[in-house]
Amino acid sequence: MIISLEIRFHGRGGQGVVTSAELLATAAGIDGLWASAFPIYGAERRGAEIEAYCRISKSQIRETSPISRPDIVVILDPTLLKISNPLRGLKESGKVIINSKVPPSVDFETYYIDATKIAMDNNLVKSGWPLVNIIMLGALLKVIGTVSLESLKIAIEDEFEGKIAELNEKAVEIAYNSVKEVEKIAV
């Protein structure tokens, strides 16, 4: 098991980036790990770039600064790769998990999932926006192997009620079972 893990989430206001980090921290706590989650806001409006952070450790976490050298970057909106640099500071051994229909081309160990399609197929849409944040957590859990899917489902049930919780739990499981690694081409 990883002793400590720093994860940076990138998305847009309204996509649930902050909720993702908080749910991951809650699930880690359910698994008996220490965790902290917090956001950084820029222009606080729907559609603006948002970052959120989550630290997970086997021991108490005292650091509260933004994560500048993440182990993992989770990108909810793939257009951010064209307009900003969500991969900045990612450790050489770092991993990228991105919401994408096709394998993205980045120079890190990369995983992708069409979270938008999963959201649409499972009626996880609000005001015309597919809700991909919780779905991305399913893919993240599969990649990191540190936090259990069962604990995430408990965290989802604590955060949401009824049908919304059920839909998110189903979508998380779909993502967990269908995330794909981008194959590296030998040079």
Please choose, from the candidates 106, 75, 105, the residue with its C-alpha nearest in 3D space to the C-alpha of residue 92. Answer: 106
Sorted by where each begins, the domain ranges of the chain are: 4-181
Give yes or no for residue 187 having a pLDDT over 50: no
- Worst-scoring range by mean pLDDT, 2-16, 87-101, 132-146? 2-16
Quick: pLDDT tens for 119-175: 999 999 887 889 999 999 999 999 999 999 999 999 999 999 999 999 999 999 999
The pair of three-digit structure tokens given for residue 100, joined into one six-digit string: 């994408």
The pTM (predicted TM-score) of the whole model is: 0.92
Tell me the residue type at 176. Y
Strands (E), the chain: 4-12, 34-41, 49-57, 72-75, 95-99, 109-113, 125-126, 129-130, 180-181
b or e along 31-47 (b: 16 or more beta carbons within 10 Å of the residue's beta carbon)? bebbbbbbbeeeeeeee
Which of the four pLDDT bands, split at 50, 70 and 90, describes residue 1?
very low
Which of the four pLDDT bands, split at 50, 70 and 90, describes residue 185?
low
Range 73-78 average pLDDT:
96
Strands 95-99 and 180-181, how do they pair? Answer: unpaired
Q: Are 86 and 10 in contact (CB under 8 A)?
A: yes
What pLDDT, on a 0 to 100 scale, did the predictor assign at position 184? Answer: 62
**CATH numeric code, 4-181:** 3.40.920.10
Q: Between 133-144 and 162-178, two packed helices, what is the crossing angle to 10 degrees?
A: 40
